């Protein structure tokens, strides 16, 4: 049976077990990708993915431009105020779509589309219409396609919303992060609540069926009290879902974050925990279900339903309700995924454009999963999504005796069982209600690459 999804938080358990770790939006994590895959084998990977009976498609478009940099940002962005950049980028994106689509089975339906960034609404409305036309020209979009767009309320007009609606978008994710003006000043992102309200009004009027809000805790000047007020402000908007992320301070990867070390003291681990606890308490009191990790959803939302019925899936955007889709991603730094391959595009505009100009798929890195990688991915996704390890079901799915093959890993779970994070029964192990915030920590026990990457990951809470 699936555990209820809004248990009380056991702070002592989190204090004891929360250590830095991957978010498992993929396994192996992107840190394992290598430059060894030649374009020819990548073409083979796409053609293998066309096999009869292949599942639906998911498309991702990385639209990287932002007018100014938020100092906490961990995304791959290009900061510019030149609107012509969007037109130029779209020209290259058209080349990439044409190069890729001609290798793909045109009969496969697209079940999911996501515009991420950067700021997709940096693109003027007519450029978004052009991108929509490109998608519909090259792909068979399912009538019930889940089409989501990351929206920056500071860069949104009613015409943007109309353009997105015209091309089929039906979901939006709004970056709000924190509504406190002092925090906004400290992180270089001024965003009055009136802009959030206006964005919600326009999107609701246009019939967007599910609106998500992104918040971040662990930023400079935030306290549990101030973050509680942010939650109150956001609840007045009545979002369908919320993602409440812990700020990942990785200045060795994102040099803009160094400014926080120079100007401010970041909240302590204990304060971060207090912020997460207060956010979770307020959201669950307001009727949202804790879907897992940092996701919350209204009980009527598809994501909450999937979580309750064991139907969650996980992809590069986080939790999803759509299963089995091969992911084809376009634009700089984007990551594509088939059943046993990953490929990641060049991260800079010049490298990405140069590959396209030469007529190549603009892929810098890739990875082909071994059988063992695929088995461990199944186990880790079972923990992250179903919150259970059913020994017989896993043995059947993996083609090995699960308990014998992974006896060493299972042997490391003793403390987690004793402390009530996991519960053993006749058929397997289930994550308990207090254990839900520690999903990543449990999954890490089955990660074959973790020791090598231990220093690279962000805090689990
Ligand atoms: S947080 Fe969003 S708007 Fe800010 S720099 Fe990053 S991608 Fe751009």
Tokens read off for 177: 């992060």
Task: State both tokens at 288.
Answer: 């949202």
Look at residue 388 and tell me if it is in a domain.
yes
Looking at the fold, whether 110 and 136 belong to one and the same domain comes out as yes
Q: What is the mean pLDDT of the chain?
A: 91
Out of 330, 348, 383, pick the residue that ends a domain: 330
| Within a domain: 396 | yes
Closest ligand 1 atom to the C-alpha of 118? Answer: 7
The residue ranking higher by pLDDT, 21 or 397, is: 397
Q: Which two three-digit tokens encode residue 97?
A: 């779509």
Q: Is 428 left (phi over 0), alpha (psi -120 to 50) or beta?
A: left
User: Of all protein residues, whose CA lies closest to atom 2 belonging to ligand 1?
Assistant: 118
C-alpha distances (whole Å) from 287 to each of 24, 77, 172, 193, 214 are: 27, 35, 21, 22, 18
Residue 16: which domain range? 1-28+371-461
Residue 408 CA to ligand 1 center (angstroms) comes to: 42
- Dihedral sign for Cα 104, 106, 326, 351, please: positive
Same domain for 222 and 117:
yes
Has residue 349 been placed in a domain? no
Residues 168 and 22 in one domain: no
The reported pLDDT for the residue numbered 88 is 95
Domain CATH code at residue 163: 3.80.30.20
Give the pLDDT confidence score for residue 455 in this predicted structure.
46
Q: Which atom of ligand 1 lies at the shortest distance from residue 155's CA? A: 3
In this structure, the answer to whether residues 70 and 137 fall within a common structural domain is yes
Asked if residue 344 is part of any domain, the answer here is no
Domains of the chain: total:
2
pLDDT tens for each residue of 280-327:
999 999 999 988 888 999 999 989 888 888 788 888 878 888 776 799
For residue 451, being part of any structural domain is answered with: yes
Probe target for ligand 1 pocket from 152, 176, 247, with the most ligand atoms within 8 Å of CB: 152
CA separation for the pair 169, 120 (Å, rounded): 12
Is there a single domain that holds both residue 183 and residue 289? yes
- Mean predicted confidence (pLDDT) in 12-39: 84
pLDDT in tens, 341-380: 899 999 999 999 999 999 999 999 999 899 999 999 999 9
Domain boundary among 308, 330, 352: 330
Distance CA 429, CA 422 (A): 6
Quick one: 7 and 70 in the same domain? Answer: no
Nearest CA to ligand 1 atom 1: 73
Domain match, 75 and 177 both: yes
CATH number of the domain to which 398 belongs: 1.10.10.920
pTM for this predicted structure: 0.92
Reported as a pLDDT band with limits 50, 70 and 90, residue 1 is very low
Are 18 and 63 members of one domain?
Answer: no
> Mind listing the pLDDT tens digit for each residue in 191-230?
999 999 999 999 999 999 899 999 999 999 999 999 999 9
- The residue ranking higher by pLDDT, 264 or 164, is 164
CA distance 249 to 445: 24
Q: What's the pLDDT score for residue 3?
A: 46
Same domain for 396 and 295: no
CA 222 to chain centre: 24
Examine the pLDDT at 450 and tell me if it is beyond 90. Answer: no
Final residue of a domain: which of 314, 330, 346? 330
Domain shared by 323 and 448, yes or no: no
Of ligand 1's listed atoms, the one at least distance from the Cα of 189 is: 4
Percent of residues, the chain, with pLDDT higher than 90: 70
Residues 13 and 68 occupy one common structural domain? no
CA-based nearest residue to 69, from 248, 207, 257, 204: 257
* Residue 439 host element (H or E): helix 439-444
Residue 175 Cα: closest atom of ligand 1: 2
355 is a domain residue: no
Pocket test for ligand 1, best of 64, 77, 153 (most atoms within 8 A of CB): 77
**Separation of 23 CA from ligand 1 center, angstroms?**
20
Is residue 348 in a domain? no
Tens of pLDDT, residue by residue over 239-248, are 999 999 999 8
E strand segments, 272-359:
289-292, 295-297, 313-315, 318-320, 326-330, 335-338, 341-345
Residue 207, in any domain of the structure: yes
| Ligand 1 neighbours by CB, cut-off 6 Å | 66, 69-70, 73, 75, 77, 117-119, 152, 175
194 with 303, same domain: the answer is yes
């Amino acid at each position: 049976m699936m555990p209820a999804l809004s248990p009380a938080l056991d702070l002592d358990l989190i204090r004891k077990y929360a250590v830095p770790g991957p978010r498992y939006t993929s396994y192996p994590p992107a840190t394992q990708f290598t430059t060894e895959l030649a374009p020819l084998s990548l073409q083979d990977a796409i053609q293998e993915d066309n096999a009869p009976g292949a599942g639906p498609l998911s498309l991702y478009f990385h639209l990287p431009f932002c007018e100014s940099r938020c100092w906490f940002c961990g995304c791959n962005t290009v900061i510019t105020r030149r609107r012509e950049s969007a037109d130029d980028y779209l020209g290259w994106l058209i080349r990439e779509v044409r190069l890729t689509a001609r290798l793909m089975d045109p009969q496969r339906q697209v079940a999911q589309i996501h515009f991420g960034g950067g700021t997709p609404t940096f693109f003027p409305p007519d450029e978004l219409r052009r991108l929509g036309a490109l998608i519909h020209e090259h792909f068979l979009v399912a009538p019930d396609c889940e089409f989501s767009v990351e929206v920056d309320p500071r860069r949104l007009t009613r015409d943007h919303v109309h353009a997105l609606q015209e091309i089929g978008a039906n979901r939006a994710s709004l970056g709000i992060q924190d509504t406190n003006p002092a925090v906004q000043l400290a992180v270089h992102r001024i965003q009055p609540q009136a802009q959030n309200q206006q964005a919600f009004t326009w999107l609701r009027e246009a019939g967007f069926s599910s609106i998500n809000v992104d918040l971040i805790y662990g930023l400079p000047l935030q306290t549990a009290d101030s973050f509680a007020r942010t939650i109150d402000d956001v609840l007045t908007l009545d979002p369908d879902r919320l993602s409440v992320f812990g700020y990942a301070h990785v200045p060795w990867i994102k040099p803009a974050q160094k400014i926080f070390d120079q100007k401010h003291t970041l909240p302590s681990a204990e304060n971060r925990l207090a912020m997460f606890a207060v956010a979770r308490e307020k959201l669950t009191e307001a009727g949202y279900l804790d879907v897992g990790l940092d996701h919350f959803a209204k009980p009527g939302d598809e994501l909450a339903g999937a979580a309750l019925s064991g139907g969650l899936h996980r992809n590069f955007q986080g939790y999803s309700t759509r299963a089995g889709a091969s992911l084809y991603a376009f634009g700089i730094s984007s990551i594509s995924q088939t059943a046993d391959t990953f490929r990641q595009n060049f991260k800079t505009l010049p490298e990405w454009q140069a590959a396209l100009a030469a007529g190549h798929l603009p892929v810098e890195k890739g990875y082909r999963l071994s059988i063992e990688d695929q088995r461990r991915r199944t186990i880790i996704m079972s923990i992250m999504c179903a919150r259970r390890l059913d020994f017989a079901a896993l043995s059947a799915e993996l083609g090995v005796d699960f308990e014998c093959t992974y006896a060493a890993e299972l042997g490391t779970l003793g403390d987690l069982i004793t402390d009530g994070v996991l519960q053993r029964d006749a058929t397997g192990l289930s994550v308990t209600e207090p254990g839900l915030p520690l999903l990543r920590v449990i999954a890490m026990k089955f990660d074959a690459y973790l020791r090598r990457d231990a220093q690279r990951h962000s805090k689990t809470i």
